[in-house]
Amino acid sequence: MPHEVPLIATIAVSFGFAAILGYLADRLQLPPLVGYLLAGILMGPITPGFVADTGLASQLAEIGVILLMFGVGLHFSARDLLAVRGVAIPGAIAQIVLATVLGVAMAEWWGWSMGAGIVFGLSLSVASTVVLLKALEERNLVNAASGRVAVGWLIVEDLAMVLALVLLPALAELLGGSAPGADGGMPLLLTIALTLLKVGAFAAMAIFLGPKVVPWLLIRVARTGSRELFTLTVLALALGIAFGSAQIFGVSFALGAFFAGVVMSESSLSHRAAADSLPLQNAFSVLFFVSVGMLFDPSIIVRQPLGVLSALLLIIVGKAIISFVVVTLLRYPIGMGLTVAGGLAQIGEFSFILAGLGVTLGLLPTDGQDIILASAIISITLNPLVCAGAEALHQYVQRRWPQSVRHGHANFDLLNDELDKIRAITEAREHQHQLEMRELSETFPLFANVDENSQEELLLLFRPKSALPGERVMRKGDRGGGMYFLSAGAVEVQLPDDAIRLEPGAFFGEMALLSGGRRNADVVAVDFCHFFVLERRDFNMFTSKHPALRQMVSEMARERTEMNVMRQKRVPSSGVVS
């Protein structure tokens, strides 16, 4: 090549290998992600041939995680998080604590230090966001109560890992490691307080300020009518909030992106934002699995077979048992316990970050990092089988002990009721939006041939206006600043020798708008009226992209002008003056 293009080469080869091996995996009745992982191994430094830039691949994978968590946030409101807090918070904390204790015990058995055991246990306690969401999507459980609990559980784990990443450098020397720049570091309690303050400030901004700013900005951009500008704004918000939250508040990219999605979910345009970002979510999430495969050193399975096996048992069996027991002890159904247990029986992105930090701080030996990476790849590969096994076990329990499945789950019933209310609010909002779109086409046949995205844009451009009976809506001689669409009620166009009644579905005011002249008649409400007003600038902008619509309006205006001329000559006719 005439010049170096590592980024293009990494993306092109990653997508090519992933597509081919993902297809082959599917033909062999395996999950496509197995092919993606294998593609990463083939591109890694261990195997001969093309070696991708691992640094670039990991950053591209981070973009995939950001977009995926952003998509989850778009369908996961703050009310959802509050609804599942009763099981997600105690469950996540219990799993982290118990898994870390088991990790410390394993490290002691291998002769590692206490610090190495803590890093090792923490790394094995936190699951992968990408893998969990893929597992839930394949089983159509993202919107189910068990799926909501699993996602909420993972969010709590992520918050705990943010705190761990901040505290590890401060505790490194105490745990037997070495923290770079520790001599000028802050006291431990001050570090913890500052971390909690930053996370709290970020959450407060996301909850209170975000819903006021982000939806307003989306509506302003959508009103421009530019599809590419809207998509660009959505991506800029997702990546910008994720990056800004990491730089300013010290939270992870994934967590920042999740809250960006939660904030954007409050907008009436959230469905459009989700649709526009979905292709990029799918593409870049593949790069996550490819980058994981690139980090894999197969020799660790030969060098430390017992270490890898022990870590896998802790991830797949230990964590599954812990989460299942916690869920059932909290009096939630067995099915939910099995879903959460299966989905969280793997590790991922946070595990790699913790392991890398542990090696940097001198806490974790390099073999420990290799064991974590090997365990991650194997647990991710086996996770679809684990989830399928959990589902089969649930079906068996339902057949064998139906009474235990149906009764005694008061907490689950309360959770379901709360989630149903949240879902009803969301569905009502979406239904109202669809109703407005349908009513627009039915009430105003003029817009029947305009595509759905343009109709949505039109609803944003409209300015609602009401009028009481007898109120003058339009005055003769005024400048034509807007075009009126009558959606309810009735008005009279008052001509010198007649009065014409207009019903819902009619429009008026287009003549002065097109000509730039003044109104040539009074329009008075004769009933309680509701209008949609399209101002001159918005009218010109919208019709410039829909010349056929402008032609129809111009043709109607010309016909009305001719009818008015005929009326002035006192030729019987029917028309409308505007």
Domain ranges across the chain = 6-408, 462-568
Contacts of 173 (CB under 8 A, 6+ apart): 179, 182
Give the C-alpha separation, 354 to 168, whole Å.
9
Longest dimension (CA), the chain: 107
Identity at 467, one-letter amino acid code: A
pLDDT of residue 311: 92
pLDDT of residue 535: 83
Six-digit token pair at 283? 């593409």
Q: How distant is the alpha carbon of residue 179 from its chain centre?
A: 36
Tell me phi and psi for residue 533, to 5 degrees. Answer: -105, 130
How many other CB atoms are found less than 10 A from the CB of residue 135? 29
CA distances from 250 to 74, 92, 169, 200 (A): 22, 21, 14, 11
Helix crossing, 366-400 with 349-360: angle to 10°?
150
Six-digit token pair at 399? 């057949």
Structure-token match 């003769």, residue found? 476
- Chunked into runs of 10 residues, the chain (578 residues) has average pLDDT values of 71 89 84 82 80 78 78 72 84 92 91 90 87 82 83 84 76 73 58 74 73 79 76 85 79 76 74 75 80 80 89 92 90 86 85 82 86 88 87 82 60 75 69 64 72 74 86 84 85 80 84 75 88 83 78 77 65 44
DSSP per residue over 109-175, as a string?
Answer: HHT--HHHHHHHHHHHHS--HHHHHHHHHHTT-TTSHHHHHHHHHHHHHHHHHHHHHHHHHHHTTTT
Half-sphere exposure of 49 (CA within 13 A, CB side): 10
Beta bridge pairs of residue 175: none
- Assigned CATH topology for domain 6-408: Na+/H+ antiporter like fold (1.20.1530)
Tell me phi and psi for residue 574, to 5 degrees. Answer: -130, 135
CATH 2.60.120.10 fits 462-568, yes or no: yes
Six-digit token pair at 6? 């590592």
Tell me phi and psi for residue 529, to 5 degrees. Answer: -115, 150
6-408 and 462-568: identical CATH topology: no
Considering the entire predicted model, what is its pTM? Answer: 0.67
